[in-house]
Amino acid sequence: MPPDTATDPNARHDGWNTLSRFLPYLWPSDKPALRWRIVIASALILASTTTQLALPYLLKWAVDAMDVRGPRLALFVILLVLGYAAGRFIGVVFDNFRNFVFERVAQDATRSLAENVFARLHSLSMRFHLARRTGEVTKVIERGTKSIDTMLYFILFNIAPTILQLIVVAVIFYVTFGWGLVAATAIAVIAYIWITRAITEWRSALRERMNRLDGQALGRAVDSLLNYETVKYFGAEAREQARYAQATSAYADAAVTSENSLALLNIAQALVVNLLMAGALAHTAWGWSKGLYTAGQLVFVQSYLTQLFRPLDLLGMVYRTIRQGLIDMAEMFRLIDTEIEVADVPGAPALIIKQPSLAFENVVFGYEPDRTILHGLSFEVAAGSRIAIVGPSGAGKSTIARLLFRFYDPQAGRILIDGQDIALVTQASLRAALGIVPQDSVLFNDTIGYNIAYGREGASAEDVARAVQGASMSQLIGRLPKGLETEVGERGLKLSGGEKQRVAIARTLVKNPPILLFDEATSALDTRTEQDILGTMRAVASQRTTLSIAHRLSTIADSDTILVLDQGRLAEQGSHAELLRRDGLYAEMWMRQAAEGEELSEAAL
């Protein structure tokens, strides 16, 4: 079973690895146009940084020139001031053009990564999806994709220009003021970065806990809303509200602690910044009093330090954002790295069916190592035959359907279709050859027409119409004001159980596969509709291999062969008449259901 990535304590220790894995998305080898955008954005960063570094010189020259009065000097000062304003404007233009050029790169990288994660989730086994909460998985994807754009912005447009400014300002300070101011600035920057990193690492642990609690709260909310009817059945609204309130309260407490730690970080950063500013300005003022520096150099130092510490003031937020972005991206990459339990073998061919026969050969399977469901199950289904599988609850009937679709692989034995081991062919071709009408039919939150046409990509309106008629849905569609355009709601909850079942049958009819599996396909239908559907199923099965899993034995009594399972083993097989004559498990089940039917008839009189 895959680990719960939301609680992995190593999430904050793989930042460089995560960043290196993301770089191919940022620098795509197959998209030269996006690479050119990165080059152009880098050139605009250099242009903007150069412009910003030149501005303090304009102010210095203007202030120094103001010591002497004169019309020519006044014009010179005015030109310098205008140049300073123009430089600030040009810097803003460069920055925004840089954003304009780079945004397509960031969005494409985000899209590619999100699509890869989404595709990976669909390739993971049913075991993974049954073990994970949908809300938590979607939250991981949401946080990861949202963090990418912001993180890239800060790395490329904040940290990179800041490093360049630090180097250039150090050179300027050395040439103008000597090593003293350079050393003081370097010490202050190092102290600032160390304090920011130390406190932010502490805050990252708090943030991880917030993420875990946030995902837990969302998971509980989604789980509760998806089970809305169950909550109502048992009058558990207050209980669900209490569970959700417990999760949100824990998140609120963690958020308070995190925000309080932010105040400590801001105070520590401000102390370092203002100590350097005070020392540098005091040193320059002292030099001016000794005649070493001009008044313009005071403005010169103040402008450079303000300009330098403006991005450094954001360093804490930048570091936290990047660190958190790497954590969120690591969660996404952990989903990508989740081992695929059921995978195609290298070079697997497509399944080619000439005669849709089916066979289980000594199949052993259990969802957990210590809980075996099927114990060496073997049976054969001839092409074109109608086979039924019956047995008590827990006998392994539905497990057969999951193994047939390769949601799981058996621990031992083989499953063959037309003599081909399904573990050695591609899953796509296998599932293309199979159709199923499940007991619990879950529909997409879209129209009835969309859900029916979902059975086959590119299905035409005529295909949908034939499926509607075959599934005995014509009267239902005729009663609905919007017909096939009727919305079915979340998981199809706007439809009754029987209506959902008929939509599922129609969807399978659209797919039109050579092998059909009916897993309690008429369990939610009334008797009259059930007979209509059974007639349709018989007509469809005449040209296909059909496997029916049933609880009501009357619905499968006319099957060619009935397989009776008991505790994961084949207890009996034969036709309905043969099994009754044997007076075994099937006969016992038949008599019990017949007795229950008589009791219901007597109660109705």
For the domain made up of 356-433+515-605, the CATH class stated in words is: alpha beta
**Average pLDDT across the chain, whole number:** 79
| Tokens at 532, concatenated | 């209509």
| Tokens at 437, concatenated | 């009408």
The packing angle between helices 32-65 and 160-177, to 10°, is 30
Do 440-512 and 356-433+515-605 fall under one CATH topology? yes
pLDDT value at 558 more than 60: yes
Phi-psi region for residue 176, left (φ > 0), alpha (ψ -120 to 50) or beta? alpha
pLDDT tens for 241-297 read 888 888 888 888 877 877 777 788 778 878 887 888 788 778 778 877 777 777 777
pLDDT value at 480 more than 60: yes
Query: Which whole number is the average pLDDT over 422-444?
Result: 85
- Per-residue confidence at 421, pLDDT binned at 50, 70, 90? very high
Query: In the CATH scheme, what is the homologous superfamily, with its name and number, of domain 440-512?
Result: P-loop containing nucleotide triphosphate hydrolases (3.40.50.300)
Tell me what percent of the residues of the chain surpass a pLDDT of 90.
Answer: 3
pTM, two decimals, is 0.62
- Per-residue confidence at 604, pLDDT binned at 50, 70, 90? very low
Taking each continuous run of H as one helix and of E as one strand, the counts in the chain are: 20, 10
Among 4-8, 101-105, 563-567, which stretch is predicted with the lowest mean pLDDT?
4-8
Query: Which whole number is the average pLDDT over 546-569?
Result: 85
Distance (Å) of CA 481 to CA 88, 165, 477, 495: 63, 67, 8, 14
End-to-end CA distance of the chain: 53
Reference 459, options 499, 507, 513; nearest CA is 507
User: DSSP 3-state assignment of 560?
Assistant: coil
Kindly list the domain boundaries of the chain, sorted by start residue. Answer: 7-337, 356-433+515-605, 440-512
Burial 143-162 (b: 16+ CB within 10 A, else e): bbbebbeebbbbbbbbbebb
- Dump the DSSP string for 371-405: B-SEEEEEEEE-TT-EEEEE-STTSSHHHHHHHHT
User: What's the pLDDT at 414?
Assistant: 92
pLDDT tens for 7-27 read 343 444 456 777 777 777 777
User: What's the pLDDT at 525?
Assistant: 62
User: What's the pLDDT at 10?
Assistant: 43
CA distance 224 to 197: 40
How many CB atoms are located within 10 Å of the residue 573 CB? 18
Strands 386-390 and 412-417: unpaired
Among 47-56, 323-332, 473-482, 529-538, which stretch is predicted with the lowest mean pLDDT?
529-538
Query: Which whole number is the average pLDDT over 207-218?
Result: 78
pLDDT value at 28 more than 70: yes
Query: Which whole number is the average pLDDT over 199-217?
Result: 77
- Per-residue confidence at 130, pLDDT binned at 50, 70, 90? low
The CATH label, of 1.10.3720.10, 1.20.1560.10, 3.40.50.300, 1.25.40.10, for the domain at 7-337 is 1.20.1560.10
Task: Count the residues in the chain.
Answer: 605
Burial 413-426 (b: 16+ CB within 10 A, else e): bbbebbebebbebb
Query: Which whole number is the average pLDDT over 174-199?
Result: 83
Cβ-based neighbours of 33, under 8 Å, separated by 6 or more: none
Tell me what percent of the residues of the chain surpass a pLDDT of 70.
Answer: 88
User: What's the pLDDT at 521?
Assistant: 67
Cβ pair 501, 419 in contact under 8 A? no
Query: Which whole number is the average pLDDT over 395-423?
Result: 88
pLDDT value at 3 more than 70: no
- Per-residue confidence at 1, pLDDT binned at 50, 70, 90? very low
